[in-house]
Amino acid sequence: MESNHYAKTPGGGVSVSPTPVSEPQTAALTLFPCQHINGKGHRCRMFTSDPDSTLCAHHVRKQMKARRLQNEAVANELLDNVGNFTDADSVNAFLGNLVTQLAHKRIARRDAMALAYISQLLLNSVSALHREQRSEREDGDVSGYLLNLFHKRDKEDQTSQAPDHQRESEHANGDHPKRPEGKTH
C-alpha cells in the first residue's frame, strides 16, 4: 500500500511525492471473487474466505443447506413404508425404494451398493432372529414337545403293529392267510 509523504518546498508550496510504506511480513491472504452467479446472470460481489473454495461464506452456507434438505428428502423416500427392519417385508420395501432412488440418480451408486449390502446383513440377521425365537419357544415348551414326540411314536407303533396283530389273530382262529392262486408250495 502506498502513502503520500508531504514535503515542504522552498517556494512555500507543498509537493507530494509518493513513497512506499512497508507492510508487516505476514502470510499473504489472497482473496478471490465468489463464483456464484444468480438467476439474472449477475456474479456475487463478495470474496471467498477459503482459498480452496470458489464460493463466499454466504453461498457455501446456502449450498450446504440445500444439500442437507435434498439428503433428508432422499432419506424420507428411502424409508417410506419400511417399518423397523424386523421382517423381510420391510427390508424388501427398503430395497425397492433404493432401486427407485438409484434409477432417478438421486443417490450415488457407491452409496446404493453400501445400503444394499447392509440390507443383505439385515436379512441374514432377521432370519437368524426368527430361528432363535423358534428355538426359544421350543425350549420353553419342552414338555409339550416331548409329549408330541411320544404321541407320534405311539401312532407309528400302532400303524406298524396293526398288520402283525391281524396275522396273530388269524393264526389263533385257525385261519390261514390266502395264497395267490396258481402258486403252490
**Nearest-5° angle of CA 133, CA 130, CA 144?**
40
CA 56, CA 63: separation in Å to the nearest integer?
Answer: 11
Task: Tell me which of 95 and 18 has the higher pLDDT.
Answer: 95
Q: Which of 45, 23, 19, 24 is nearest to 34 (CA)?
A: 45
Cβ atoms 66, 36 nearer than 8 A: no
pLDDT over 90 at 114, yes or no: yes
Q: What is the pLDDT of residue 54?
A: 87
pLDDT band for position 101 (cuts 50, 70, 90): very high
CA 70, CA 63: separation in Å to the nearest integer?
Answer: 11
pLDDT over 60 at 127, yes or no: yes
H runs (alpha helix) in 40-108: 57-78, 88-103
Task: For the chain, give every domain's residue range.
Answer: 31-70, 79-138
What would you report as the CA-atom Rg of the chain, rounded to the nearest whole angstrom? 45
CA 52, CA 69: separation in Å to the nearest integer?
Answer: 24
Task: Tell me which of 165 and 43 has the higher pLDDT.
Answer: 43
Widest CA span in the chain: 164
Q: What is the pLDDT of residue 15?
A: 47
pTM listed for this prediction: 0.47
